[in-house]
Homo-oligomer: A and B are copies of this chain.
């Protein structure tokens, strides 16, 4: 009487998606198999293609299909500014403000002791080397204004200032407790313009 095993596996597999619980997964699986087999086919292929094609940029760490991403290779960006963000989505949000023309470093995470992610797990040595390469004049920390983002910013600023790097933080125009991903571009542009140097 049970659900067919291939359907059961699909429901289970759909739960890897963030925010998808058992009910939604069931609904999605039946929807795909009843009403959108073409979409399911396309999704299966797109997942495989993305898995094969995507890797981390050797310079900024974001997801890309090349060794070095387009943005890092561009000669039209101001290489003396380096903006540190938590995720590629946050980087996209920064770009959408059209208020920043420097380069980026994507942490791919944040300091989060509860999840066992300390400064060591974030592999900050590459960020440090990059910040001290003589080209970068200012590192702008644009981690989230959450507890973890703040802890990350604090750790980064201490680390960079001890090496004599000039560090700033985007203004607290981002609502406290909020995440960059869900902020409108105007607010984020303001926060970028009002960035303040961190006290030594």
Contacts and interface: CB of A to CB of B under 8 A. Distances in A.
B88 A30 contact: yes
Interface in A70-110: 70-71, 74, 87-89, 92, 95, 108
A14 to B, nearest CB: 7
Contacts of A128: none
B41 A44 contact: no
Interface in A7-60: 7, 9-10, 12-14, 16-19, 23-24, 26-34, 36-37, 39-54
Contact of A44 (B2, B12, B47, B88): B47
Given A6-B49, A34-B108, A51-B37, A13 B42 contact: yes
A166 interface: no
A contact residues, range: 35 or more
A64 interface: yes
A162 interface: no
By DSSP majority rule, is chain A's interface helix, strand, loop, or mixed?
helix
A161 to B, nearest CB: 29
Given A19-B24, A31-B18, A9 B54 contact: no
A4 B56 CA distance: 12
Interface of A: 1-7, 9-10, 12-14, 16-19, 23-24, 26-34, 36-37, 39-54, 63-65, 70-71, 74, 87-89, 92, 95, 108, 181
